[in-house]
Amino acid sequence: PEDHSILGAQMARRIAPRLGLDAEECETVEWLVRYHLLMSDMAQKRDIGDPRTVRDFAKAVKTRKRLDLLTVLTVCDIRGVGPGTWNNWKAMLLRQLYKQTAEALEGGLETVNRENRKDDATQALRARLPDWDKAALDHEVSRHYRPYWQGLSTDTHLVFARLLQGLGDNEIRIDLHPDPDRDATRACFALVDHPGIFSRLAGALALVGANVVDARTYTSKDGYATAVFWVQDIEGKPYEVSRLPRLRGMIDKTLRGEVVAREALKDRDKLKKRDREFRFPTHITFDNEGSEIYTIIEVDTRDRPGLLYDLTRTLAANNIYIASAVIATYGAQVVDTFYVKDMFGLKLHQKPRQEALDRKLRAAIAEGAERAQA
C-alpha cells in the first residue's frame, strides 16, 4: 500500500484550493500533510542532542512559520492517538527539538555546532561549581570529549562532575533522581570504562523492570565511563523515592557480577498472556548520513521485556561501541535506535559487515521472542 503521507498530500493538493486557500497556503497545507510525522520521528527516534539532527530538521522545515504549524500538528496528532499516549517525556522531546530548531532558523545553521555547545556547556558548569578550585575545574572541563558536552544538560554534567571526583578504579558510583517533568527517573553511572558497559547497565535495569526511554554513554580521556539512562516503571512513570534503594541495590549487584543478567532474565522476561498475540515484522536499517560521527542503527520490532539488553549484548559481542540509544514505544511495537561506531571509532560503511550484524540482531530478537513466549 502507498504511504498514507504521500496519499494525504495528493488529496490536500486537490482539496485545499476548494477551501479558498491561496497558492502559498495550499503549498503549506500539502507540505504539512506530507511531512506530518517528521517532527515526531525526529524527536522520538533520533538523538536530538546531536547537532546533525537539528540541522537536518531545520533544513527540511526551512521557515519558522512551518516549524510552528508542524509543532501544533504533531502535538495534536500524538494526543489524538488515545488516552495515555501523550506524556511529559514526549512533551520534553518536542519542546527541546522546537527550541533548538527555532534558534537554528533564526541564528543560522552554523550556530548549531559542537564547538559552540562545548563552550557554552563548560562555562555553565564552571558557574555551577563555585566551591571548586581552578585546578579541579580545569581538570573536569578538559577530561571530556566534545560529544559529552553537546549531548547532556548542565544538571547532568554537574552530577557527573561530583560522581567522578576521586573515583577509585574498582568503584561504581550511582545517582538516581526522579524527574516528574520528564515522567522518568534519571540514572547516572560513573565507573572505569570497559567493553560492554552499555549492555551490562541495560541488563541491570531490565532486572528491576525498568523501561529505558533514552540513554547516553561517554568515555572520558582518562578512561572513565559516564552513562546516563532515563527510565520509567511499568506504568510509564518515574520511580518514587521509596523504590530507589532496591533499584540501586540490584544495579550494584549486577555491575559487580553478583547477579548475571542473562541468566536472571530467563525467568523474568515473559510476555503476559494478553500480549502474546501481537506480532510485528522486524525491520533493521543502517544510516550513515544522519550523524557526522556515528552509524545510526534503527531496529523496529515487537516490544518485550529484556529486548534492549539482548540487542545491546549482541552489539557488544560484535565489538560495536554504543554512544547513545533512543527508544520509542508504540503500544506493543518498539523502535530502538542506536548511535554506534566500530572498535576503531569508525562508521559501519561495509555492506557485508552491516548484513552480518543484521543477521545476528535478528537471531537475538527471535531467540528472545521464543523465550518470552515459553
Residue 322: per-residue pLDDT: 92
Q: Are 58 and 99 in contact, with CB atoms under 8 Å apart?
A: no
| Domain stops at, among 228, 253, 268 | 268
Residue 340: per-residue pLDDT: 95
Q: Is residue 14 part of a domain?
A: no
Residue 46: per-residue pLDDT: 93
Q: Are 169 and 188 in contact, with CB atoms under 8 Å apart?
A: no
Helix (H) or strand (E) segment spanning residue 101: helix 88-107
| Domain stops at, among 111, 135, 169 | 111
Q: Is residue 89 part of a domain?
A: yes
In this structure, the answer to whether residues 216 and 236 fall within a common structural domain is yes
Residue 348: per-residue pLDDT: 97
Please report, for the domain that includes residue 357, its CATH number. Answer: 3.30.70.260
In this structure, the answer to whether residues 240 and 329 fall within a common structural domain is no
Mean pLDDT by 10 residues, the chain (374 residues): 85 95 95 96 92 93 97 95 86 95 86 72 96 96 92 94 94 90 92 89 86 91 94 86 84 76 60 60 96 95 89 95 89 90 95 98 91 67
> In angstroms, rounded to a whole number, what is the distance separating the alpha carbons of residues 70 and 196?
39
CA 328 to chain centre: 8
Q: Is 224 helix (H, G, I), strand (E, B) or coil?
A: strand
- The backbone torsions φ and ψ at residue 16, rounded to the nearest 5 degrees and listed phi first, read -55, -45
Helix (H) or strand (E) segment spanning residue 29: helix 23-34
Residue 113: per-residue pLDDT: 63
Pairing of strands 224-232, 184-192: antiparallel
In this structure, the answer to whether residues 147 and 246 fall within a common structural domain is yes
Residue 28: per-residue pLDDT: 96
Q: Is residue 153 part of a domain?
A: yes
> In angstroms, rounded to a whole number, what is the distance separating the alpha carbons of residues 202 and 330?
20
Q: Are 195 and 304 in contact, with CB atoms under 8 Å apart?
A: no
Q: How far, CA to CA in Å, does 47 sit from each of 117, 141, 296, 328?
A: 15, 23, 10, 11
Q: Is residue 152 part of a domain?
A: yes
In this structure, the answer to whether residues 133 and 254 fall within a common structural domain is yes
| Domain stops at, among 223, 245, 268 | 268
Q: Is residue 149 part of a domain?
A: yes
- List the strands of the sheet with 333-342, edge to edge: 173-179, 184-192, 224-232, 211-219, 320-330, 333-342, 295-302, 283-287
In this structure, the answer to whether residues 238 and 321 fall within a common structural domain is no
In this structure, the answer to whether residues 145 and 160 fall within a common structural domain is yes
In this structure, the answer to whether residues 196 and 240 fall within a common structural domain is yes
Beta bridge partners of 297: 286, 338
In this structure, the answer to whether residues 278 and 263 fall within a common structural domain is no
Residue 271: per-residue pLDDT: 52
In this structure, the answer to whether residues 191 and 126 fall within a common structural domain is yes
Q: Is residue 15 part of a domain?
A: no
- The backbone torsions φ and ψ at residue 224, rounded to the nearest 5 degrees and listed phi first, read -105, 145
Closest Cα partner for 154 from 126, 116, 133?
A: 126
Q: Is residue 78 part of a domain?
A: yes
In this structure, the answer to whether residues 136 and 248 fall within a common structural domain is yes
Q: Is residue 102 part of a domain?
A: yes
In this structure, the answer to whether residues 205 and 286 fall within a common structural domain is no
Closest Cα partner for 313 from 246, 258, 365, 276?
A: 365
Q: Is 42 helix (H, G, I), strand (E, B) or coil?
A: helix
- The backbone torsions φ and ψ at residue 217, rounded to the nearest 5 degrees and listed phi first, read -135, 140
Q: How far, CA to CA in Å, does 18 sit from each of 13, 26, 306?
A: 10, 10, 52
Residue 290 belongs to domain spanning = 271-374
In this structure, the answer to whether residues 216 and 295 fall within a common structural domain is no
Residue 290: per-residue pLDDT: 94
> In angstroms, rounded to a whole number, what is the distance separating the alpha carbons of residues 78 and 70?
12
| Count of structural domains, the chain | 3
Q: How would you class 359 by CB atoms within 10 Å of its CB: exposed for 0-12, middle for 13-18, buried for 19 or more? A: exposed
Residue 257: per-residue pLDDT: 77
Q: How would you class 61 by CB atoms within 10 Å of its CB: exposed for 0-12, middle for 13-18, buried for 19 or more? A: buried
- The backbone torsions φ and ψ at residue 79, rounded to the nearest 5 degrees and listed phi first, read -65, -30
